[in-house]
Structure 1
Amino acid sequence: MRQEYGDLPLNEPDLAEDWPAQFAAWLDIARSTGVEEPNAMVLATAALDGRPSARSVLLKSVDDRGFVFFTNYESRKGRELIDNPYASLVFPWYALHRQVVVCGEVERVTRTETEEYFASRPRGARLGAWASRQSEVISGRSDLEAAWEAAEHRWPEEVPAPDHWGGFRVVPQTVEFWQGRRSRLHDRLRFRHSAAGWLVERLSP
């Protein structure tokens, strides 16, 4: 199916002074125009043997240090990020003919950051973090539901954050802002970290 994009440009003078400000501006537009789950992002990781995997996760916070999400450290993505701490993120804002692509190193957030975020989650989600052996094969849904009920009985009040659960931060080395244009002459402006600081580069589409 043929897709033609619009005439909305992305030129160098249009950019904010740094990537966090530019990302915040585009995220605000995605939210205000009704993009569904604008904080959803595709996370790509790779095992030590180079085999890639990708999945959608939710961005929970972003600042000049990077992009933060939370997961089970023993899941496939958790193990891959611990063994091979590099990742790429894609924010696919199709309705706006825009995407943001991030590449960088990965680090764990502090335990304090993990516990603060975990405490803000709904109780059911906190229990789910204990019940789910994420990415492991199970015999059926009944196993998962039984594990959730066991967790509910174990913690009738406060639910602590599991040791195997926490946050990762993707510390960007590049952040690319992509704007779809007619005739496939898309605008691609990339912030790239260098020894001299952040550089802005235009990429050919």
Structure 2
Amino acid sequence: ATDKHHVVDDAPFGGGQGMVMKPEPIFAAVEDLKSQIANRKSQILLMSPAGRRFDQEMAQQLSQESHLIIISGHYEGVDHRVIEHLIDLEISIGDYVLTNGAIAAVVLVDSVVRLLPGTLGHERSAADDSFSNGLLEAPQYTRPADFRAWKVPEVLLSGNHAEIAKWREEQATTRTRANRPDLFR
């Protein structure tokens, strides 16, 4: 903020509770960032409960962008002129409200970065995750094969890759139906 008191928020016109982030500091910050990367196109995002709902498909799309600028709303949000004239995409991580948009931005960054080549230890890791094929991920097991008399399903120990793939698909479908039936609509 460049005013005398370096204020980034103010009361909303028309009255109401809370404070609204002023447009000047946001425009100044974005314009400064864009001047530093003049040769790259930036996608400008605003984290907001009023935005499009973030999902794996959107994470995949954003991972293809060359540069993202993420603005985290605070208080009662940002002056609407920021949304109208600066933002390319307003994003919500769910149907609830947080104290600020920084937590939502971290969720978005983590979800997108893990899709970038070289981030995960194995190339197929992201492709096999929940939601990548529209289903939740199948249950995962590790050593020991027998823990407190709870055994790993035999098929996973069989070495038969076709049967393992079939089992995982069946388990993913069952798990999705039980926990997230909305994904079948």
Higher RCO (CA < 8 A, seq sep 6+)? 1
Q: Relative to total residues, which structure has the larger helix share, 1 or 2? A: 2
Between structure 1 and structure 2, the one with the greater Rg is: 2
Regarding TM over 0.5, the answer is no
Q: Relative to total residues, which structure has the larger strand share, 1 or 2? A: 1
Q: Given the two structures, how large is their TM-score scaled by the length of structure 1? A: 0.22
